[in-house]
Amino acid sequence: MAGVKYDKMSNKMYFWNENRPKQESEESSDYYLKYDQQKPENLIPKAQEKCTKYGVEDQEDSSQRGGWNNQLDFLFSCISLSVGLGNVWRFPYLCYKNGGGAFLVTYSIAMLFCGIPMFFQEVAIGQYLGAGGMTFVGQLCPIFKGVGYATMTIVFLLDVYYCIIIAWTLFYLISTFAVLPELPWSNCDNRWNTKDCFDNFSISNTNKTILRKSTSPVEEYFDHKVLGISTGIEDIGGLQWALFACLVIGWILIYAIIRKGLHQSGKIIWFSAIFPYVVLLILLARAVTLEGAGDGLLYYITPRWEELLSPVPWMDGATQIFFAYSIGCGALPALGSYNKFHHNCYKDAVITCIINTFTSLLAGCVTFSILGHIALEHDAGVGDVVKNGPGLVFLTYPEVVLKLPGAPLWAGIFFMMLIVSDAPKDNF
């Protein structure tokens, strides 16, 4: 005698045989039954159809949606999604802004009570319903079906933003090999440099006032060559055709990665998840040996506890968790929907969140080591050379590759790392 149960939330019907032996193993059981939607009266043995542990999964729908080829594909996809520019530039800046070690306190609390639970919740709902970010809210509560469309609108805007960062990165990557054996931002002898450019900082031989007012060739390359910043709103300037070409290449690159479906991009996801750590560890080994790196690291970890009395560190800690973990953008339910129904996504969620936080701390060490070195060269405080936004990546890291032997090679590797770190966020 068979039992039948319809689950409204997952929109699935489950069948079981009430006469099933208690000791029967899952692998050898032929008592699980599947419902034939065309002929409700037909009950088909498990030997003829694929079904889940407690119920039934529509084989046709499952084959149409696809799934991960390997259980680790999902874990590395989550890592690729959550690790990116939010770890490289946003976390170090917020840590500096909100009191160093004091911000780590608010960040850790937000991770434990908001980040990990909500990360797991979104993945689990997507896995249970087998639905992506646009439809799962409507299945939970039909009256809020529009939330899914609003989420996709936000994701579209984020994709546009991230693809612009990819365009900047592609511009740097191509320029790296344009004037070999040097790098275009290594000196002030270029047409885009100004009279304030100073490329040989020597505190003992140079007036300190001049040092404070001067700009480095790295900074001028980013402002004047890459972005083409005009003198003011009255000077609109022209279209940056080189950047436009890089933007088109970026969108083509994204399409090439996901054209066969997200679950078919396993090997690319593995590479994009592992490669950034190799580059960051190499840059860390060089950055911490730079003169002045200790001052930067001390500034990074020194807490200003009075900052905890202000609401700003608490808000920034929570927003950084949501931004870095990609919570609320619909990507996590989409990733979870490709899992098998009984996959242990809780373990993957905890591992991903821990790795994400470790990446932020690692990138902070690299960034503040470089900033300490730049501050020493400019005879300024570390707080005076930190800038917010994606510009921090293109000002500090190009500076440290100049200190490495074979600078063009390392510059190319670094900007390739940024591309493979940002592309997965656009894909999701």
For the chain (428 residues), the mean pLDDT of every run of 10, in chain order, is 57 56 43 40 40 40 58 77 74 78 88 90 88 81 86 84 86 87 85 79 50 74 85 78 91 79 60 80 87 86 83 89 84 83 86 88 86 80 65 79 83 84 58
Work out the burial of residue 253: count CB atoms within 10 Å of its CB; fewer than 13 is exposed, 13-18 middle, 19 or more buried.
Answer: middle
Domains and CATH numbers, the chain: 2-62 (no CATH), 69-427 (1.20.1740)
Structure tokens at 11: 């929109």
Question: What 3-state class would DSSP assign to 139?
Answer: helix
pLDDT of 203: 45
Q: pTM score, two decimals?
A: 0.71
pLDDT of 248: 94
pLDDT of 218: 85
* CB atoms near residue 65 (< 10 Å): 15
pLDDT of 59: 41
pLDDT of 388: 54
Long-range contacts formed by 306-310: CB under 8 A, 24+ apart: 306/99, 307/98, 307/99, 307/102, 307/103, 308/99, 308/102, 308/105, 308/106
Distance CA 279, CA 76 (A): 17
Q: Are strands 43-45 and 2-7 parallel, antiparallel or unpaired?
A: unpaired
pLDDT of 245: 93
**Cβ–Cβ under 8 Å, residues 151 and 134:** yes
pLDDT of 428: 52
pLDDT of 40: 42
Question: What 3-state class would DSSP assign to 45?
Answer: strand
User: What is the dihedral angle through the alpha carbons of 183, 186, 192, 193, rounded to the nearest 10 degrees?
Assistant: -170
Distance CA 382, CA 368 (A): 8
Structure tokens at 218: 């790295």
Distance CA 198, CA 196 (A): 6
